Amino acid sequence: MSGAFPEGRLLASSVVRRVSRRLGRVFDSLEGLPYLGQSEIKDFLYFRSIFDESLLRIDRKIAERRLLPLDLRGFPQELRYPGLSARVGVFIGSFDPFQMTHLAMALRFLASDTSEADALFIVPEGSLDSRKPLKTDYRFRFEILKRQIAGIFEPLVAPLDIGEGADTIEVVRRLIGLHPGASLRLTHLLGSDALPMAAALLPDDLEAWGEAAKAKRVDLDFSIHVALRDRRSRLRPLIDAVRGLGVRLVVDRAVIGTPSSSAFRSQGAITLILPTEAVLSRLELLFRYGMSRSWTGSRPREEDKGMDFSGPEYEI
Protein backbone atom coordinates (compact mmCIF):
# COMPACT_ATOMS: atom_id res chain seq x y z
CA MET A 1 0.00 0.00 0.00
CA SER A 2 1.75 3.13 -1.22
CA GLY A 3 -0.47 5.95 0.05
CA ALA A 4 -3.31 5.39 -2.43
CA PHE A 5 -6.52 3.45 -1.66
CA PRO A 6 -8.07 1.04 -4.18
CA GLU A 7 -10.48 3.65 -5.50
CA GLY A 8 -7.49 5.84 -6.36
CA ARG A 9 -7.94 8.35 -3.57
CA LEU A 10 -4.53 9.83 -2.69
CA LEU A 11 -3.85 10.55 0.96
CA ALA A 12 -2.95 14.17 1.68
CA SER A 13 -1.54 13.71 5.19
CA SER A 14 1.93 12.24 5.69
CA VAL A 15 0.76 10.95 9.08
CA VAL A 16 -2.12 8.98 7.57
CA ARG A 17 0.09 7.76 4.72
CA ARG A 18 2.51 6.29 7.24
CA VAL A 19 -0.29 4.62 9.21
CA SER A 20 -1.83 3.33 5.99
CA ARG A 21 1.47 1.84 4.77
CA ARG A 22 2.14 0.16 8.10
CA LEU A 23 -1.39 -1.26 8.25
CA GLY A 24 -1.18 -2.37 4.64
CA ARG A 25 1.97 -4.35 5.35
CA VAL A 26 0.19 -6.14 8.21
CA PHE A 27 -2.74 -7.28 6.08
CA ASP A 28 -0.71 -7.95 2.92
CA SER A 29 1.56 -10.32 4.84
CA LEU A 30 -1.37 -12.62 5.61
CA GLU A 31 -1.38 -14.05 2.09
CA GLY A 32 1.84 -15.88 2.92
CA LEU A 33 0.51 -17.61 6.04
CA PRO A 34 -0.40 -21.20 5.12
CA TYR A 35 -2.62 -21.75 8.17
CA LEU A 36 -5.13 -19.06 7.14
CA GLY A 37 -8.00 -20.13 4.91
CA GLN A 38 -10.49 -18.08 2.90
CA SER A 39 -12.85 -17.55 5.85
CA GLU A 40 -10.01 -16.06 7.93
CA ILE A 41 -8.89 -13.82 5.06
CA LYS A 42 -12.51 -12.67 4.60
CA ASP A 43 -12.70 -11.63 8.26
CA PHE A 44 -9.46 -9.67 8.05
CA LEU A 45 -10.58 -7.92 4.85
CA TYR A 46 -13.83 -6.91 6.55
CA PHE A 47 -11.91 -5.10 9.27
CA ARG A 48 -9.45 -3.66 6.79
CA SER A 49 -12.34 -2.00 4.92
CA ILE A 50 -13.55 -0.42 8.18
CA PHE A 51 -10.08 0.89 8.98
CA ASP A 52 -9.51 2.25 5.47
CA GLU A 53 -12.79 4.13 5.52
CA SER A 54 -11.90 5.78 8.83
CA LEU A 55 -8.39 6.65 7.65
CA LEU A 56 -9.83 8.40 4.59
CA ARG A 57 -12.07 10.51 6.83
CA ILE A 58 -9.19 11.26 9.21
CA ASP A 59 -7.09 12.32 6.22
CA ARG A 60 -9.82 14.73 5.13
CA LYS A 61 -10.07 16.19 8.63
CA ILE A 62 -6.30 16.76 8.71
CA ALA A 63 -6.38 18.42 5.27
CA GLU A 64 -9.11 20.75 6.53
CA ARG A 65 -7.15 21.36 9.77
CA ARG A 66 -9.96 19.99 11.90
CA LEU A 67 -7.54 17.37 13.25
CA LEU A 68 -3.98 18.39 14.05
CA PRO A 69 -1.73 15.38 14.77
CA LEU A 70 0.24 15.75 17.98
CA ASP A 71 3.93 15.19 18.56
CA LEU A 72 3.89 12.39 21.13
CA ARG A 73 7.64 11.75 21.14
CA GLY A 74 8.77 11.45 24.74
CA PHE A 75 5.23 11.42 26.12
CA PRO A 76 4.36 11.22 28.97
CA GLN A 77 7.74 12.32 30.33
CA GLU A 78 7.77 15.25 27.91
CA LEU A 79 4.86 17.33 26.62
CA ARG A 80 5.35 18.70 23.11
CA TYR A 81 1.85 20.13 22.75
CA PRO A 82 1.73 23.50 20.94
CA GLY A 83 1.12 26.17 23.56
CA LEU A 84 0.83 23.39 26.18
CA SER A 85 -2.68 22.76 24.91
CA ALA A 86 -4.08 19.44 23.74
CA ARG A 87 -7.32 17.92 22.52
CA VAL A 88 -7.14 14.21 23.31
CA GLY A 89 -9.45 11.28 23.82
CA VAL A 90 -9.12 8.39 26.25
CA PHE A 91 -10.53 4.90 25.67
CA ILE A 92 -10.61 2.80 28.86
CA GLY A 93 -11.81 -0.79 29.17
CA SER A 94 -11.01 -4.30 30.26
CA PHE A 95 -9.70 -5.06 26.75
CA ASP A 96 -9.52 -8.76 27.56
CA PRO A 97 -8.09 -8.78 25.00
CA PHE A 98 -7.88 -5.60 22.96
CA GLN A 99 -8.99 -6.51 19.44
CA MET A 100 -10.05 -5.06 16.12
CA THR A 101 -13.55 -4.11 17.28
CA HIS A 102 -11.91 -1.73 19.76
CA LEU A 103 -9.58 -0.46 17.06
CA ALA A 104 -12.56 0.18 14.77
CA MET A 105 -14.18 2.24 17.54
CA ALA A 106 -10.95 4.17 18.09
CA LEU A 107 -10.43 5.08 14.43
CA ARG A 108 -14.09 5.89 13.88
CA PHE A 109 -13.95 8.25 16.87
CA LEU A 110 -11.05 10.20 15.40
CA ALA A 111 -12.74 10.18 11.99
CA SER A 112 -16.05 11.51 13.30
CA ASP A 113 -17.03 15.05 12.35
CA THR A 114 -18.33 15.44 15.92
CA SER A 115 -14.96 14.59 17.49
CA GLU A 116 -12.46 17.35 18.25
CA ALA A 117 -9.68 15.06 19.46
CA ASP A 118 -6.29 15.05 17.75
CA ALA A 119 -5.15 11.79 19.37
CA LEU A 120 -6.62 8.91 21.34
CA PHE A 121 -4.92 7.15 24.26
CA ILE A 122 -5.99 3.56 24.94
CA VAL A 123 -5.68 2.32 28.51
CA PRO A 124 -6.64 -1.08 29.94
CA GLU A 125 -8.05 -0.68 33.43
CA GLY A 126 -6.34 -2.81 36.04
CA SER A 127 -8.66 -2.78 39.05
CA LEU A 128 -10.02 -5.95 40.63
CA ASP A 129 -13.59 -6.65 39.54
CA SER A 130 -15.70 -9.30 41.28
CA ARG A 131 -17.90 -9.49 38.19
CA LYS A 132 -14.90 -10.63 36.13
CA PRO A 133 -12.96 -13.02 38.38
CA LEU A 134 -11.20 -14.64 35.41
CA LYS A 135 -9.99 -11.38 33.87
CA THR A 136 -6.48 -11.72 32.50
CA ASP A 137 -3.77 -9.87 34.40
CA TYR A 138 -3.13 -6.25 33.47
CA ARG A 139 0.41 -6.65 32.18
CA PHE A 140 -0.59 -9.31 29.67
CA ARG A 141 -3.59 -7.28 28.46
CA PHE A 142 -1.45 -4.18 28.02
CA GLU A 143 1.18 -6.18 26.15
CA ILE A 144 -1.38 -7.50 23.66
CA LEU A 145 -2.74 -3.97 23.19
CA LYS A 146 0.74 -2.58 22.62
CA ARG A 147 1.63 -5.30 20.12
CA GLN A 148 -1.32 -4.25 17.95
CA ILE A 149 -0.95 -0.48 18.19
CA ALA A 150 2.66 0.54 18.83
CA GLY A 151 4.67 1.43 15.76
CA ILE A 152 1.59 1.43 13.53
CA PHE A 153 -1.05 3.93 14.64
CA GLU A 154 0.89 6.61 16.53
CA PRO A 155 0.48 9.53 16.79
CA LEU A 156 -3.23 9.09 16.08
CA VAL A 157 -3.90 6.15 18.42
CA ALA A 158 -1.41 5.27 21.16
CA PRO A 159 -1.29 2.77 24.05
CA LEU A 160 -0.74 4.36 27.45
CA ASP A 161 0.52 2.33 30.41
CA ILE A 162 -1.23 4.04 33.32
CA GLY A 163 -3.94 1.50 34.17
CA GLU A 164 -2.25 -0.94 36.52
CA GLY A 165 -4.32 -1.30 39.70
CA ALA A 166 -6.66 1.48 38.54
CA ASP A 167 -10.34 1.76 37.68
CA THR A 168 -11.72 4.38 35.29
CA ILE A 169 -11.83 7.21 37.82
CA GLU A 170 -8.19 6.61 38.74
CA VAL A 171 -7.05 6.20 35.12
CA VAL A 172 -8.49 9.61 34.21
CA ARG A 173 -7.02 11.12 37.37
CA ARG A 174 -3.58 9.77 36.38
CA LEU A 175 -4.02 11.10 32.83
CA ILE A 176 -4.82 14.55 34.18
CA GLY A 177 -1.71 14.31 36.35
CA LEU A 178 0.43 13.81 33.25
CA HIS A 179 -0.54 17.30 32.03
CA PRO A 180 0.59 19.76 34.75
CA GLY A 181 -0.14 23.34 33.81
CA ALA A 182 -1.71 22.34 30.48
CA SER A 183 -5.00 23.14 28.83
CA LEU A 184 -6.61 19.73 28.36
CA ARG A 185 -9.73 19.17 26.26
CA LEU A 186 -10.41 15.56 27.20
CA THR A 187 -13.01 13.30 25.58
CA HIS A 188 -13.94 9.96 27.12
CA LEU A 189 -14.77 7.40 24.41
CA LEU A 190 -17.36 4.89 25.59
CA GLY A 191 -19.23 2.01 24.04
CA SER A 192 -22.99 2.39 24.53
CA ASP A 193 -22.95 -0.77 26.67
CA ALA A 194 -20.72 1.05 29.18
CA LEU A 195 -22.80 4.25 29.34
CA PRO A 196 -25.24 3.15 32.11
CA MET A 197 -22.45 2.55 34.63
CA ALA A 198 -20.51 5.61 33.50
CA ALA A 199 -23.58 7.83 33.90
CA ALA A 200 -24.26 6.47 37.40
CA LEU A 201 -20.68 7.12 38.56
CA LEU A 202 -20.20 10.43 36.76
CA PRO A 203 -21.11 12.84 39.60
CA ASP A 204 -18.40 11.40 41.86
CA ASP A 205 -15.99 11.12 38.93
CA LEU A 206 -16.38 14.77 37.95
CA GLU A 207 -15.69 15.87 41.52
CA ALA A 208 -12.52 13.75 41.73
CA TRP A 209 -11.27 14.88 38.32
CA GLY A 210 -11.95 18.51 39.16
CA GLU A 211 -9.84 18.18 42.30
CA ALA A 212 -7.04 16.48 40.35
CA ALA A 213 -7.09 19.22 37.72
CA LYS A 214 -6.96 21.93 40.36
CA ALA A 215 -4.02 20.26 42.12
CA LYS A 216 -2.04 20.05 38.85
CA ARG A 217 -3.19 23.46 37.55
CA VAL A 218 -4.83 21.80 34.55
CA ASP A 219 -7.49 23.71 32.64
CA LEU A 220 -9.78 20.70 32.10
CA ASP A 221 -12.65 20.55 29.62
CA PHE A 222 -14.33 17.11 29.80
CA SER A 223 -16.81 15.52 27.39
CA ILE A 224 -18.11 12.06 26.40
CA HIS A 225 -18.35 10.41 22.97
CA VAL A 226 -20.55 7.30 22.76
CA ALA A 227 -20.08 4.60 20.11
CA LEU A 228 -23.23 2.55 19.54
CA ARG A 229 -22.74 -1.19 19.90
CA ASP A 230 -26.20 -2.36 18.77
CA ARG A 231 -29.46 -0.91 17.48
CA ARG A 232 -31.35 -1.99 20.60
CA SER A 233 -29.71 0.66 22.77
CA ARG A 234 -32.11 2.99 24.55
CA LEU A 235 -29.96 5.88 25.61
CA ARG A 236 -32.16 8.95 25.89
CA PRO A 237 -32.57 8.94 29.73
CA LEU A 238 -28.83 8.39 30.16
CA ILE A 239 -27.97 11.13 27.69
CA ASP A 240 -30.27 13.56 29.48
CA ALA A 241 -28.75 12.63 32.87
CA VAL A 242 -25.20 13.23 31.65
CA ARG A 243 -26.04 16.50 29.95
CA GLY A 244 -27.89 17.54 33.09
CA LEU A 245 -24.52 17.51 34.85
CA GLY A 246 -23.21 20.05 32.35
CA VAL A 247 -21.15 17.49 30.40
CA ARG A 248 -21.12 17.59 26.61
CA LEU A 249 -22.10 14.22 25.15
CA VAL A 250 -22.10 13.12 21.50
CA VAL A 251 -23.48 9.84 20.18
CA ASP A 252 -22.11 8.38 16.95
CA ARG A 253 -25.33 7.41 15.15
CA ALA A 254 -23.92 4.49 13.14
CA VAL A 255 -23.72 1.06 14.74
CA ILE A 256 -20.28 -0.54 14.75
CA GLY A 257 -21.29 -4.06 13.75
CA THR A 258 -18.45 -6.12 15.15
CA PRO A 259 -18.25 -8.77 17.89
CA SER A 260 -17.55 -8.14 21.56
CA SER A 261 -14.59 -9.45 23.54
CA SER A 262 -16.88 -11.91 25.35
CA ALA A 263 -17.90 -13.38 21.97
CA PHE A 264 -14.22 -13.33 21.02
CA ARG A 265 -13.22 -15.43 24.04
CA SER A 266 -16.14 -17.86 23.86
CA GLN A 267 -15.82 -18.50 20.11
CA GLY A 268 -12.02 -18.61 20.05
CA ALA A 269 -11.81 -16.55 16.88
CA ILE A 270 -8.24 -15.87 15.80
CA THR A 271 -9.38 -13.28 13.29
CA LEU A 272 -10.36 -10.62 15.82
CA ILE A 273 -6.80 -9.71 16.83
CA LEU A 274 -4.88 -7.38 14.52
CA PRO A 275 -2.27 -9.82 13.12
CA THR A 276 0.86 -7.73 13.46
CA GLU A 277 4.23 -9.47 13.37
CA ALA A 278 4.57 -8.75 17.10
CA VAL A 279 1.25 -10.47 17.82
CA LEU A 280 1.85 -13.48 15.58
CA SER A 281 5.19 -14.05 17.30
CA ARG A 282 3.46 -14.21 20.68
CA LEU A 283 1.95 -17.66 20.45
CA GLU A 284 0.89 -17.44 24.08
CA LEU A 285 -2.09 -15.46 22.77
CA LEU A 286 -3.37 -18.54 20.96
CA PHE A 287 -3.01 -20.78 24.01
CA ARG A 288 -4.53 -18.31 26.48
CA TYR A 289 -7.67 -17.77 24.45
CA GLY A 290 -7.83 -21.08 22.59
CA MET A 291 -8.23 -19.32 19.25
CA SER A 292 -8.58 -21.52 16.20
CA ARG A 293 -11.51 -20.26 14.12
CA SER A 294 -12.75 -17.25 12.19
CA TRP A 295 -15.58 -15.42 13.96
CA THR A 296 -17.89 -15.54 10.90
CA GLY A 297 -17.40 -19.29 10.79
CA SER A 298 -18.16 -19.85 14.49
CA ARG A 299 -21.52 -20.92 15.81
CA PRO A 300 -23.30 -17.81 17.22
CA ARG A 301 -23.96 -17.80 20.92
CA GLU A 302 -27.40 -17.01 22.31
CA GLU A 303 -26.21 -13.62 23.61
CA ASP A 304 -25.02 -12.62 20.14
CA LYS A 305 -28.23 -13.41 18.27
CA GLY A 306 -29.77 -10.29 16.86
CA MET A 307 -26.43 -8.50 16.49
CA ASP A 308 -26.47 -6.27 13.45
CA PHE A 309 -23.27 -6.48 11.41
CA SER A 310 -24.34 -4.19 8.59
CA GLY A 311 -23.65 -0.87 10.32
CA PRO A 312 -26.74 1.14 9.24
CA GLU A 313 -27.60 4.57 10.57
CA TYR A 314 -29.36 4.42 13.93
CA GLU A 315 -31.86 6.97 15.19
CA ILE A 316 -31.89 7.60 18.93
Which of helix, strand or coil describes residue 265? helix
Give the pLDDT score at 234. 81
Q: Quick check: 20 pLDDT over 90?
A: yes
Q: Which residues pair with 227 in a beta bridge?
A: 191, 252
Nearest residue to 289 (alpha-carbon basis) of 102, 96, 39, 33: 96
* Average pLDDT value for residue range 194-198: 94
Q: DSSP class of residue 164?
A: B
Q: What is the mean pLDDT of residues 251-277?
A: 71
**Dist CA 241 CA 179 (whole Å):** 29
Give residue 143's pLDDT.
Answer: 95
Whole-angstrom distance, CA of residue 22 vs CA of residue 175: 28
Determine the pLDDT at residue 31: 84
Window from 109-113, 205-209, 269-273, 293-297 with minimum mean pLDDT: 293-297
291, 256, 257, 288: which is closest to 273 by C-alpha?
A: 291
**In the predicted model, what is the mean pLDDT of residues 195-223?**
97
> What angle, rounded to 10 degrees, do the helices at 195-215 and 168-177 form?
30
Say if residue 19 is exposed, middle or buried (CB neighbours under 10 Å; 0-12, 13-18, 19+): buried
The larger pLDDT score, comparing residue 304 to residue 276, is at 276
Q: Is pLDDT at 8 greater than 60 in this prediction?
A: no
Asked if 195 contacts 249 with a C-beta cutoff of 8 angstroms, the reply is no
In the structure, what pLDDT confidence band is assigned to residue 110 with cuts at 50, 70 and 90? Answer: very high
Binned at pLDDT 50, 70 and 90, residue 300 comes out as: low
- What is the side-by-side order of every strand in the sheet holding 119-124? 157-159, 119-124, 85-93, 183-191, 219-227, 248-252
Indicate whether 308 pLDDT > 50: no
DSSP β-bridge partners for residue 119: 88
End-to-end CA distance of the chain: 38
Cβ-contact 92, 173 below 8 angstroms: no
Residues 6 or more apart from 11 whose CB is under 8 A from it?
A: 3, 4, 5, 17, 20, 55, 56, 59
Domains of the chain: 14-304 (3.40.50.620)
Q: If pLDDT is split at 50, 70 and 90, which confidence band does 132 have?
A: low
CA distance 198 to 239: 11
CB 189 within 8 A of CB 223: no
pLDDT higher than 50, residue 3: no
Q: What is the per-residue pLDDT across 171-185, written as a single tens digit (0 to 9) for each?
A: 999 999 999 999 999
DSSP state of 61: H
- 40-65 residue pLDDT tens: 888 888 899 999 999 999 999 999 99
The predicted-structure confidence for 269-280, as pLDDT tens digits, reads as follows 667 889 898 887
**pLDDT interval class at 230 (50, 70, 90):** confident
CA atoms within 13 Å, Cβ hemisphere of 316 = 17
pTM across the whole model: 0.86
Residue 142 pLDDT: 96
